[in-house]
Copies of this chain bind each other. A is one copy, B any other.
Amino acid sequence: MPHDDAKLVSLNCGDCPIRHRAVCARCETDELEELERIKYYRSFEAGQTVIWAGDQMDFVASVVSGIATLTQTLEDGRTQMVGLLLPSDFVGRPGRSRAAYNVIATTDILMCCFRRKPFEDMMEHTPHIAQRLLQMTLDELDAAREWMLLLGRKTAREKIASLLSIVARRNASIQMRASERDMTFDLPLTREAMADYLGLTLETVSRQMSALKRDGVIELQGKRHVRVPDMDRLLLEAGDDSDGGFII
């Protein structure tokens, strides 16, 4: 039995930090009440495995806070990250009883879980949930496809620059100041996790980080704290279209 060490938490949906971005975003008050009855919280510490691929999984969940990764592995141990789970992201698939991927907590995380069967039943008569889940899944599919371009066609340097701009952009959107050229943030990932994200080795990640630093594209304070003096320069290094690939 996993999850033995999950701590118990209680939270009112109305006060939930991801209330307006998670699967429940479109739910009305009465629908929230129904969800409230089947939900429970679980927390995991940084480094813990939330679920192993192939495990029985009788819940689905939203990430409330913290960061987790979705990874896939080949028998010989080669591993590829296939998803990065941020607050409000959804874990699990309605209608599927076994996990398809490993879910690993990168930082301490809190998850809002729903027992799978009741959740599936509720989806049947609550279009608001299915609608929101569809929207979220379509967004994830777009992100996965962007990522495929990165994995298949970008150079190591471009891959690193792309990852940094993604993290920077996400950070900016949280702090609500996307316009500034100068950006500072903490990398939530180890070099190894970055390598698994980008389809590289950790040595290559390290070398390219050093190269970007040497070339003045980024500044490092410690291993994880990054300053980007010129965001446009970084985006250029990432090799994307100048607009960052946004489509409305």
Contacts and interface: CB of A to CB of B under 8 A. Distances in A.
Contacts of A144: 141, 144-145, 148
A98 B247 contact: yes
Interface in A114-171: 127, 130-131, 133-135, 137-138, 140-142, 144-149, 151-154
A72 interface: yes
Q: Is the interface of A mostly helix, strand, loop or mixed?
A: mixed
Contacts of A151: 148, 151-152, 199
A247 B76 CA distance: 20
A97 interface: yes
A68 to B, nearest CB: 15
Copies in the complex: 2
A130 B141 contact: no
Nearest to A146: B72
Nearest to A238: B74
A1 interface: no
A241 interface: yes
Contacts of A98: 247-248
